[in-house]
A = this chain, B = another copy of it.
Amino acid sequence: MTLRRHSLLSKNVARALRQRLRREYQSGGRLPSELEIAQEYGVSRGTIRDALAILEREGVIFRRQGSGTYVNQYALNIQASIESAYEFTDLIRQAGYQAEIRPLSVERQPLPADIAARLERPPDSDALFVRKLFLADGEPAIYCLDVLPTDLVREPYQPEELHAPIFDFMRQRCYQTVSLVLADIIPQVTEGQLAELLQSPLGQALLQFDEVSFNTLNKPVLFSRVYYRDGYVRFSVLRKKM
Enumerate chain A interface residues (CB-CB to B < 8 A). 28, 57, 59, 62, 64, 70, 72-75, 78, 82-85, 177-189, 203-207, 212, 214, 216, 218, 220, 228, 230, 234-242
Contact = CB atoms under 8 A, between A and B. Distances in A.
The 6 closest A-B pairs by CB, nearest first: A187-B205, A85-B239, A181-B239, A187-B207, A183-B237, A185-B235
Given A179-B240, A238-B180, A62 B206 contact: no
Contacts of A57: 57
Query: For chain A, what secondary structure do more than half of its interface residues adopt (helix, strand, loop), or is it mixed?
Result: strand
Nearest to A241: B179
Nearest to A185: B235
A18 to B, nearest CB: 14
A14 to B, nearest CB: 12
A204 B187 CA distance: 9
A74 B182 contact: yes
B180 A59 contact: yes
A184 B234 contact: yes
Given A180-B62, A238-B180, A205 B189 contact: yes
B241 A182 contact: no
Contacts of A70: 218
Contacts of A188: 187, 205
